[in-house]
Chain A
Amino acid sequence: MLAARELSLILPSGRRILDRASLSVAPGQLTAVIGPNGAGKSSLLRLLAGEARPAEGRADLDETPLARLRGRERARRIAVLPQSTHLDFAFRVSEVVGLGRLPHGDDETRGRGRAVVAAALAQVDLADYGDRLYTTLSGGEQQRVQLARCLAQLDLLAGERPDRARYLLLDEPTASLDPAHQLAVMTLARDLSRRGLGVLAVLHDLGLAASVCDRLVVMAGGRIVADGPPGATLDRGLIAAVYGIDAEVIANPVGGGVLIAPRAARCP
């Protein structure tokens, strides 16, 4: 289990950008972290990725603090998809995905890496893109290539059941994508969770989060203020309190989940 235990992050100015946040990323579940800008969502993700050390509390992978894991060990089990990845150098798509093999010591041309990279590209519907240049792809395609890199990093092959749980952290993965690609990336994230991956996504789109995720973690002012299934978590009072929006929460007539219909906003 990837778990945040009472994590706090304090800026040199003394401001707590994360205040005793506790959360477990469950394998088999797609969890969304939502909340207004500055709520501490990205800080939480950074600590769960082992990028920074918390001022207080611990981020653990199977009871071991992330800080004590070797980088390569951590990377085999936790992958992070950034918002977008700009590359000034013209790598081929298969080479970019092959970088995910770094913690495994092989690459896209040999050994298990060859099969894993091909499978990862197929998984994101880019099976024929291996020889294309990354720099010539659209933003949506580049994001799918990066997702494939994460899958190659987590060493996933169809039909295999990993012995220990793997985790995929998505940092506003849909921020630069059009609605179709947003849905495609999040649907794929859900499929991956169904295959046993623990997936955590920082999202801004409440509707998208409510419609595809199993669980919503709502943050405000550095704290986790709500945590549960979308239907039970999002209500008018919470949205008003967290976002300062007066919104109607309606049961989604198609596909389950809830719809958010804002009426008016006041700036928080």
Chain B
Amino acid sequence: MTVGTVAAPGQDVSARRRLRGLVLGLLGLAVGGAAIAGLGLGPVPIPPGEILAMLFGQAPADPTHGAVLFAIRLPRVILGILVGAGLAVAGAAFQGLFRNPLADPGIIGVSSGGTLGAVGFIVLGPALGLDFAGIHALPLAAFAGALGATLLVARIAALAGGSTAALLLAGIAIAALAAAGTGLLVFVGDDQQLRALVFWTMGSLSAAPIDGILWGLPALLAPLVALPWLARALDAMLLGEREAHHLGLDVVRLKRIVVVATSIGVGAAVALAGVIGFIGLMAPHLARLALGPGHRLLLPAAALIGAFLMLLADITARLAVAPAELPVGIVTGCIGGPFFLWLLVHRRAGRA
């Protein structure tokens, strides 16, 4: 076995790198296009040229257009981008952590905990004398529920030996308990509360006020900022926990960072937009199909695809039954359910 003259692996590395750059660039353009569409479409249509002019600081030609753009649609589109990207990156990281392409942050109870927090606030808030109309109180309750459930799951998993399987099983149990609690609250809630919580559990980008989004910004950005630093470590985790340890990683610390960063991000997403399913599953998968499983490209690509899908789903939710509006969770569910099944059947084939 000689060494000296062997070609380096992947002679077409530079060509592949160019292609990957192109894919990321196209994804960025797609997000930009979807954002412009999201800003322009609706009961008051605004042409793209006018949107760009207003975004770059020109005084609005039509004051109504200015108000609609900045007060209604821009917060919504920004929230959509952040929620979509955050859910997608969190999903990608979880799939790496659990070595399972079908994993989702919901596994550690973050969504069900958030739902319990929100529904608990809607149903029990008035009885407990909490201000029902408080703008930030509902997202805060949801955020607290999401983080509380995750911490509980992590703590129980640590007591049970700290393995990934323990984390998963504890997550399933806590999610079931939270769902039971939510069900009980739904059962005792009155009609008006039911309406509020049904809309909340189906997800919507319309409910969040602009200052709520600003408050949630650091939390929404947490996974987007923290996880790309762990890309190589997540690659190593795909080999297995023991193997990652043999490669010199502190696996316990890595798991802790991923769980904390994702639950803060997903908790904030749940708090501001309700439960939106399948983005965290679909976006990483599509990214893997396009760019392979390496997390250094997967995480940014998944973030872009997640943002794009979220914007598209929101536009659909607004236009499908106009002038009424569908909860966006219904749209992502309609696309995501069949996608999940397709994945299940075709997973063996190709690079997914």
Contact A109 B6 (CB under 8 A): no
Q: Could you say which residues of chain B place their CB within 8 Å of the CB of A102?
A: 232-233, 236, 247-249
How far apart are the CA atoms of A102 and B242 in the complex, in Å? 15
Contact A91 B9 (CB under 8 A): no
- Our count of residue pairs bridging A and B at CB distance below 8 angstroms stands at 113
Q: How many chain A residues have a CB neighbour from B under 8 Å?
A: 49
CB B297 to nearest CB in A, in angstroms, measures 11
How far apart are the CA atoms of A109 and B12 in the complex, in Å? 11
B155 at the interface (CB under 8 A from A): no
Give the interface segment out of A25-33, A67-75, A211-219. Answer: A67-75
How far apart are the CA atoms of A140 and B294 in the complex, in Å? 24
Contact B294 A91 (CB under 8 A): yes
Q: Could you say which residues of chain A place their CB within 8 Å of the CB of B10?
A: 92, 94, 108-109, 130-131
Contact A85 B236 (CB under 8 A): no
Q: Could you say which residues of chain B place their CB within 8 Å of the CB of A96?
A: 239
Q: Could you say which residues of chain B place their CB within 8 Å of the CB of A122?
A: 1-3, 6
Contact B247 A89 (CB under 8 A): no
B243 at the interface (CB under 8 A from A): yes
Residue ID in chain A nearest B347 by CB atoms: A88
B73 at the interface (CB under 8 A from A): no
Q: Could you say which residues of chain A place their CB within 8 Å of the CB of B351?
A: 90, 133
How far apart are the CA atoms of A90 and B350 in the complex, in Å? 8
Contact A71 B249 (CB under 8 A): yes
- Considering only residues 232-290 of chain B, those with a C-beta below 8 Å from chain A are 232-233, 235-236, 238-240, 242-243, 245-250, 288
How far apart are the CA atoms of A75 and B233 in the complex, in Å? 14
Q: Could you say which residues of chain A place their CB within 8 Å of the CB of B100?
A: 88
Contact B242 A75 (CB under 8 A): no
Residues in chain B within 8 A of chain A (CB atoms): 1-4, 6-10, 12-13, 99-101, 232-233, 235-236, 238-240, 242-243, 245-250, 288, 292-294, 350-352
Residues in chain A within 8 A of chain B (CB atoms): 49-51, 70-76, 78-80, 82, 85, 87-97, 99-100, 102-103, 107-109, 114-115, 117-119, 121-123, 125, 127, 130-131, 133, 153, 157-158
Q: A89-B238, A91-B238, A96-B239 are known contacts; what are 12 more A-B pairs with Cβ within 8 Å? A: A50-B245, A71-B245, A71-B249, A92-B9, A97-B9, A99-B239, A114-B8, A123-B3, A130-B9, A130-B10, A131-B9, A153-B247
